[in-house]
Structure 1
Amino acid sequence: MPAPATVEEYLAALPEGARTALEQVRAAVLRGMPGATETIRYGMPAAMLGGRYGLHYAAWKRHAALYPVPVFDGDLEAEVAPHRSGKDAVHLPYGHPVPADLVERVAAAVAARRG
């Protein structure tokens, strides 16, 4: 199977549960990064800010993920910390509601750092 050329192709190739979760992640990322454009980078969807990457998001067997997520200060990091896997990955397990508000705030915080 060829690598997806668009985010829509990437999503269409996913099983239903993963696709539903990643569509929610995608919507939250784009709400948090108004004006971002989307592309496929490193084989996964990415929200780009002015030609620079903002966040990548991907579907895996057991979770959706965001990359790279920097360490934040204060309350936002406290909310993100339970979802961290490694130093810059955030995992969102399937079978749990997608924390869309948290994803949106993470995206906004990343956009503010890139601004």
Structure 2
Amino acid sequence: MLKMNKDIKDVDQYIATSPEEIQGILKKVRSIIQKHAPEAVESMAYCMPAYKTFKKPLVYFAAQSKHLGFYATPQGNEAFVEELSKYKQGKGSIQFPYNDVPYDLIEKIVKYRVAENEAMYKNKV
């Protein structure tokens, strides 16, 4: 990971202190999340930008040395198995190389996770 700086207090600071050559990528991912999850609560968790809807984790992202780490929970990965097959993955994590960040896919994943969190919330109410 590029940084595990516990002194970083918000996403603006996180992006501003990231390497200049990837700040645009981080800003674009953030804007996708904000556009498709406008009600999401933005914070820092695990030293990376974190978003929640209905008090449940939505997605996280992190600047790594050679890739963008994107964390959409295991369900987010499972719903897009085919599209994600060319990327290195872990349980709930995806590694997008900086030269091949699939913004359209990130948008689809965010929309899916928003709908998933909303459905879980409505089922509890």
TM-score scaled to structure 2, two decimals? 0.79
Counterpart of 2:66 in structure 1 is 62
Q: Is the 8 A contact 1:28 1:101 kept in 2?
A: no
From the CA coordinates, give the structure whose radius of gyration is larger: 2
CA displacement at 1:108 relative to structure 2: 0.8
Q: What one-letter code is carried by the residue in structure 1 that aligns with 2:113?
A: V
Counterpart of 1:15 in structure 2 is 19
CA displacement at 1:95 relative to structure 2: 2.3
Q: Segments of 4+ in structure 1 off by > 4 A?
A: none
State the alpha-carbon separation in 2 of the partners of residues 114 and 58 from structure 1: 21
Give the secondary structure class of the aligned counterpart of 1:95. helix
Bigger drift between 102-111 and 22-31 goes to 22-31
- For structure 1, the 5+ residue unaligned runs are none
Counterpart of 2:103 in structure 1 is 100
Give the secondary structure class of the aligned counterpart of 1:101. helix
For CA contacts below 8 A with separation 6 or more, give which structure has more relative contact order. Answer: 1
Q: 2:41 aligns with which of 33, 37, 45?
A: 37
Deviations 1:27-78 (A, max 9, x none): 12222323112100111001111332211111010111111342334xx331
Q: 1:72 aligns with which of 61, 75, 78?
A: 78
Matches within 5 A, 1:79-98: 79-96=83-100, 98=101
Give the secondary structure class of the aligned counterpart of 2:85. helix
* More helix by percentage: 2
TM-score scaled to structure 1, two decimals? 0.85
State the alpha-carbon separation in 2 of the partners of residues 2 and 79 from structure 1: 33
CA displacement at 1:83 relative to structure 2: 2.1
Percent identity between the two aligned chains: 27
